[in-house]
Amino acid sequence: MGEAVGNHPTKKILRVLNGEPVWPLPIWVMRQAGRYLPEYKETRAQAGSFLDLCYNPRLATEVTLQPIRRFGFDASILFSDILVIPHALGQDVRFVENEGPKLEPISSEADLSRLANELPLERLESVFETLDRLKTALPGETTLLGFCGAPWTVASYMIAGKGTPDQAPARLKAYRDPAFMEVLIDKLVRASTAYLIRQIDAGAEAVQIFESFGSALPPALFERLSLDPIRQIVAGLKEARPQARTIVFVRGGGVHLHRLAEEGIGDALALDWTLDPKTVLADLPAHVATQGNLDPLALVAGGKPLSAGIDRILSAVRGRPHIFNLGHGIVPETPVEHVQDMIDRVRGAGA
């Protein structure tokens, strides 16, 4: 990795992921390469489809670097999507303009058996090439992040074939056909672990696991479908690559955060915007790093709501290992100037 002196990293995000408080807080933004940036829209138009962009190492590297050039974020997240995993496993995945992802839904044992048993890593070679290019293109202080979706979130797209408000098709499937669900989740655990290990080998220094639909699960299913699969992925990754750092984002997982923390699942826990960091942190051991959690719409609004939202987070996390971020992805209608205002306020926070 070239930047570590002994075991003491100099990159701010890696220091936080090792449990060290860093002030001013390091900052990056979920979905930081995206449609709020005019330069993204330009490259996107050249690329063809969204998946063409994900699988084009030159253009994927370019869009990953765009927010780093413009804002100097402390982390750079690989440009790709959580749905490249079902795609590589053999499911038909498309992104329809202005509608989002469309997959050929799976529901039977026969559908499952048509999916590859082990992740064919060669189908994702272009993603690893993007990481390889980023490793040399990024400024020395920028942490390179990889990512994957958590099995439940990915499975919910694979079953419904699209995004759904409360993941009803996958939840119903979990009740009616637990055996199907178990096989699918297990396949995704193995695929995601192999994928993350390969991302680390290609140059990622830390990875974020996105459980975007954690809030949909009732307590009876949460352990089996969300917590346990994430636990297995993190354990498998750490066993294979002990230097890898992990950030776990369970959107809507507030009531379960203390369990993740107690078990040490994730070097950092990402908080969604509904959580009050003051309350959450009071319940978490001091060495557990956190990330988040400004409301993406406070960033759209700008002005007073933005500065008040930032200050509330800064005062709650002062003295703790924390990475500033949004509580979910940045939305396309976000004014670019507001992103700069946010960075200036976070970085300008007085000692």
Retrieve residue 312's tokens: 């509330």
Instruction: Please give the Cα distance from 227 to 152 (Å, whole number).
Output: 9
210 interacts with ligand CP3 by CB under 6 A: yes
Residue 224 a catalytic site member: no
Size of the site for ligand CP3 (CB under 6 A): 22
Considering only 14, 47, 82, 294, the residue that binds ligand CP3 (CB under 6 A) is: 82
30 interacts with ligand CP3 by CB under 6 A: yes
35 interacts with ligand CP3 by CB under 6 A: yes
Q: Which range of residues in 10-18, 25-33, 168-176, 297-305 is near ligand CP3 by CB under 6 A?
A: 25-33
Residue 345 a catalytic site member: no
Q: Which range of residues in 81-89, 106-114, 291-299, 305-313 is near ligand CP3 by CB under 6 A?
A: 81-89
Please, what is the end-to-end C-alpha distance for the chain in angstroms? Answer: 31
- In the complex, minimum distance from the CB of residue 8 to ligand CP3, in angstroms, rounded to a whole number: 28
Residue 245 a catalytic site member: no
- In the complex, minimum distance from the CB of residue 156 to ligand CP3, in angstroms, rounded to a whole number: 9
Instruction: Please give the Cα distance from 127 to 93 (Å, whole number).
Output: 16
Catalytic residue among 36, 40, 74, 81: 81
Are the C-beta atoms of 19 and 212 separated by less than 8 Å? no
**Binding letters toward ligand CP3, positions 48-67, x by CB under 6 A:** --x-----------------
178 interacts with ligand CP3 by CB under 6 A: no
Helix-helix angle 38-47:57-71, to 10 degrees: 180
Strands 75-77 and 93-96: unpaired
In this structure, what is the dihedral angle of CA atoms 298, 65, 344, 13, given to the nearest 10 degrees?
90
Q: Which range of residues in 27-35, 117-125, 165-173, 273-281 is near ligand CP3 by CB under 6 A?
A: 27-35
Distance, CA of 343 to chain centre:
20
Considering only 12, 31, 133, 187, the residue that binds ligand CP3 (CB under 6 A) is: 31
Angle at 180 between CA 174 and CA 181, to 5 degrees: 45
Considering only 130, 212, 232, 246, the residue that binds ligand CP3 (CB under 6 A) is: 212
Q: Which range of residues in 9-17, 73-81, 195-203, 276-284 is near ligand CP3 by CB under 6 A?
A: 73-81
Angle at 85 between CA 101 and CA 106, to 5 degrees: 65
Residue 177 a catalytic site member: no
Q: Which range of residues in 26-34, 130-138, 185-193, 240-248 is near ligand CP3 by CB under 6 A?
A: 26-34
Which helix (H) or strand (E) covers residue 101, if one does? strand 100-103
**Binding letters toward ligand CP3, positions 311-330, x by CB under 6 A:** ------------------x-
Catalytic residue among 15, 40, 44, 295: 44
Are the C-beta atoms of 141 and 205 separated by less than 8 Å? no
Instruction: Please give the Cα distance from 136 to 140 (Å, whole number).
Output: 9
345 interacts with ligand CP3 by CB under 6 A: no
Question: Given CA atoms 136, 142, 232, 55 in this order, what sign does their dihedral have?
Answer: negative
Residue 15 a catalytic site member: no
**Strand residues in 4-85 grouped as ranges (E):** 75-77
Retrieve residue 300's tokens: 């759209």
Q: Which residues bind ligand CP3 (CB under 6 A)?
A: 30-35, 44, 50, 77, 79, 81-83, 95, 100-101, 147, 149, 163, 210, 212, 329
Which residues are the active-site residues?
31, 35, 44, 81, 157
